Amino acid sequence: MDILLTEPERMLQRQLRDFVQAEIAPCADEWDRRNELAYEAFQKVASVGLTGLTVPEEYGGQGGSLMDALIASIELARASVSVASIVGTHMGLALGGLYRYGNEDQRRRFVVPAAKGERLCSYALTEHDASSDISRMTTTARREGDEWIINGAKCFISNGDRADMVLLFATVDKQLGNKGITAFVVEKGTPGFSVGKIEDKLGIRAESAAELMFDDVHVPMENQIGEVGKGMRIALSILDEGRLDVAGQGVGLASAALDAAVAYSKERQQFGQPICEFQGIQWMLVDMATQVDAAWLLAYRAARLADQGQRFSKEVAQAKLFAANTAMDVARKSLQIHGGYGYMKDLPIERFYRDAKILEIYEGTSEVQKLVIGRAILS
């Protein structure tokens, strides 16, 4: 697939692969075992500019494209989906929204330090009864003078327990449904803002998912992002970029699982020959390789459309759907090829298998992606 990239993109890919192999891969299993957000991973990626990869240089970033972001997601996920998710939430969801919809003052106050990796960001949309259907949101924002008073709770918020600032979505009027949703920045340490339960997850255990609580949190008008009632549009536009990031995570995980399966099949001897000599194993590897290439091509198309300023909601939903399915299937087949050794924590295959499932759930379940695609092709 490298032939479809430009020379600067291939150079970025090589640099990131070297960085990931040296700084992320050796720590990935230990971070997973600790079962807490690997903040040192965030610091490592900040040191090479990944925390602001797509942010213009004048705001502390690298001025990269969404194709660059896709490449970064793939390379990080080859070693750790957790780390890819930390960066994707910080840069793709939170910073993407703050830069695109924030005013100049907000860009200077929030985007610049976050792009430099000095502050970790989170994105708070999901609630217990409002996940796929965010029109049922119950977190409220009430205007009082030159402040907003926030009350409510969010759940499963990536980076939530360690974030220095949160891009929060709340409704100014529940009766308005989608038309009442508005975006705000809530900063760590604001009175009334606290962290509740931190989830104990099946996979991506080096990335946190936290409950965030808002009890009469006073947010200045200067922290309102975009217009009142336009939060739904902001959230959905950001989610398209988030889905591209998840597609990259699927490609990266599946690529790593495939590489591991190929290497192991050449080494493992059974009945007097390497197991790669058996047709059954070869056909599994063929299917895996074909799926990985197809997932990459769908993600590539979505990223190119996005960088050209074209609408890409259907294409990125297809990329996310297929890459998530591919990651699950390739991780399963890789574990099967590894046999009992793949089931043990001595090898990263069991972590790949656990991590793959979240790709079918976050940034819109696979079923939601099908709804998006279906509506697009029937419109």
CATH number of the domain at 343, please. 1.20.140.10
**CB within 8 Å of 30: residues ≥ 6 apart:** none
Q: Which one, of 88, 89, 115, lies nearest residue 102 by Cα?
A: 115
Residue 57 annotated to the active site: no
| Confidence at residue 136, expressed as pLDDT on a 0 to 100 scale | 86
Q: Which one, of 129, 224, 146, 231, lies nearest residue 180 by Cα?
A: 231
String of DSSP letters for 104-124: HHHIIIIIHHHHTTSS-EEEE
Are 238 and 372 in the same domain?
Answer: yes
Can you read off the two tokens belonging to residue 303?
Answer: 């990223």
pLDDT tens for the chain, 379 residues: list them.
678 999 999 999 999 999 999 999 999 999 999 999 999 999 999 999 999 999 999 999 999 999 999 999 999 999 999 999 999 999 999 999 999 999 999 999 999 999 999 999 999 999 998 777 787 899 999 999 999 999 999 999 999 999 999 999 999 998 888 899 999 999 999 999 999 999 999 999 999 999 999 999 999 999 999 999 999 999 988 999 999 999 999 999 999 999 999 999 999 999 999 999 999 999 999 999 999 999 999 999 999 999 999 999 999 999 999 999 999 999 999 999 999 999 999 999 999 999 999 999 999 999 999 999 999 999 8
* CA atoms of 241 and 261, how far apart (whole Å): 30
Name residue 143's beta-bridge partners.
Answer: 148
Q: Give the residue numbers spanning the domain of 369.
A: 232-378
Are 268 and 363 in the same domain?
Answer: yes
Q: Which of 208, 229, 250 is the last residue of a domain?
A: 229
Q: Which of 127, 207, 211, 363 is catalytic?
A: 363
Using DSSP, how many helices (H) and how many strands (E) does the chain show? 14, 10
Name residue 158's beta-bridge partners.
Answer: 209
Q: Which of 115, 131, 165 is the last residue of a domain?
A: 115
| Confidence at residue 131, expressed as pLDDT on a 0 to 100 scale | 73
* CA atoms of 135 and 24, how far apart (whole Å): 38
Are 241 and 356 in the same domain?
Answer: yes
